[in-house]
Amino acid sequence: MMNYKKYLKLAVCTCLAASLAIMSGCGGSSSGGDKKAASNKKVFRVGMECSYAPYNWSQPTADGGAVKINGTNEYAYGYDIMMAKKLADSMGATLEVNKIEWDGLAPAVISGKIDAVIAGMSITSKRKQSVDFTKPYYYASVVALVRADSKQAKAQTIADLTGSSAVSQLNTIWYDLIPQIPQVNKLPAIDTVPGMIVALESGKCDVVVTDIPTGKAAVFANPKLKVINFPEGKGFKTSAEDVEIGIAVKKGNTELTTALNKVLGNMKPADFEKMMDEAIKKQPLAKK
């Protein structure tokens, strides 16, 4: 009787082992399916400097809706993040923010490291040779940023800036517009927006050529500075590509471009301005 029970017990254990093996095999497939599903989850990988307020900046916490910067302990926020979150939500995607130096942004999207550049980038014919652009997500007029107590602060036309020392950010249309100032002393371009603001504050230059959001943000943070937005026909001569700010994507990625344009096409300049004003008020320097 004992032998029979042992035999029965052995048989039951064998069956259970076989069942567990089959279940384990199913579990493995299921787990693999879960991993595959996770890997197939949409991730919208965006690149920006994270140091270009009010378009984008970095901060130590997620306060205000900031997004974690990939591979760091910092968070990014600003107009570009507001827009990126809106676009990611529209596609049912998770937003991934990558901090990349200005000169590395276009190469990053071309190589496929990121899906899009949302970084206050002007839509220029030169850039369109290497990347595709969406519809504009902001329209930024070009202005002169000066110290409020300087003689340049009284300028009514660009001619009133004659002989000034001027600078702007590297590889931007702003820097290319500096020669429009008569007899200008064009200084070497500066890598970052904070860098050129410091140059102005310290007296290393008289004028910073930039766009109106950057200028307004600088003045909001430092009342000792002044934005000169010249009347039409008396300031910098610009074309549409000088003031239209777009999102750069890899050439030929029509699926993504179409998805982004669907959202942007339903927004008006007034919507952009409302978001930008909010970003300017929330920039870190505004809290000091």
Confidence of residue 167 (pLDDT cuts 50, 70, 90): very high
Domain check: are 147 and 231 in the same one? yes
Q: Has residue 35 been placed in a domain?
A: no
> Which residue in the block uniquely carries the two structure tokens 């259970």?
16
Tell me what the mean pLDDT of segment 159-178 comes to: 95
Look at residue 172 and give its three-state secondary structure: coil
| Reported pTM | 0.72
The count of domains in the chain is 2
* Residues 6 or more apart whose Cβ sits within 8 Å of residue 194: 51, 53
Domain check: are 251 and 134 in the same one? yes
Q: Has residue 9 been placed in a domain?
A: no
**For the segment 241-262, what is each residue's pLDDT rounded down to a tens digit?**
889 999 999 999 999 999 999 9
Tell me what the mean pLDDT of segment 258-278 comes to: 96
Domain check: are 80 and 102 in the same one? yes
Residue 73 has pLDDT above 70, yes or no: yes
Give CA 30 to chain center in angstroms.
Answer: 38
**For the segment 151-160, what is each residue's pLDDT rounded down to a tens digit?**
999 999 999 9
Domain check: are 133 and 275 in the same one? yes
Q: In angstroms, rounded to a whole number, what is the distance separating the alpha carbons of residues 86 and 82? A: 6
Q: Has residue 103 been placed in a domain?
A: yes
Residue 116 has pLDDT above 50, yes or no: yes
Domain check: are 132 and 165 in the same one? no
Tell me what the mean pLDDT of segment 99-125 comes to: 96
User: Mean pLDDT over all residues of the chain?
Assistant: 87
Q: In angstroms, rounded to a whole number, what is the distance separating the alpha carbons of residues 78 and 44? A: 17
Looking at residue 176, which CATH number applies to its domain? 3.40.190.10
**What's residue 286's pLDDT?**
52
Confidence of residue 53 (pLDDT cuts 50, 70, 90): confident
**For the segment 222-245, what is each residue's pLDDT rounded down to a tens digit?**
999 999 999 989 999 999 888 999
Domain check: are 253 and 276 in the same one? yes
Confidence of residue 192 (pLDDT cuts 50, 70, 90): confident
Domain check: are 198 and 185 in the same one? yes
Residue 34 has pLDDT above 70, yes or no: no
Domain check: are 170 and 223 in the same one? yes
Q: Has residue 154 been placed in a domain?
A: yes
Residues 248/132, Cβ–Cβ less than 8 Å: yes
Look at residue 61 and give its three-state secondary structure: coil
Q: Has residue 21 been placed in a domain?
A: no
Give the structural domain span for 260: 43-139+244-287
**For the segment 82-100, what is each residue's pLDDT rounded down to a tens digit?**
999 999 999 999 999 999 9
Domain check: are 135 and 94 in the same one? yes
**What's residue 261's pLDDT?**
98
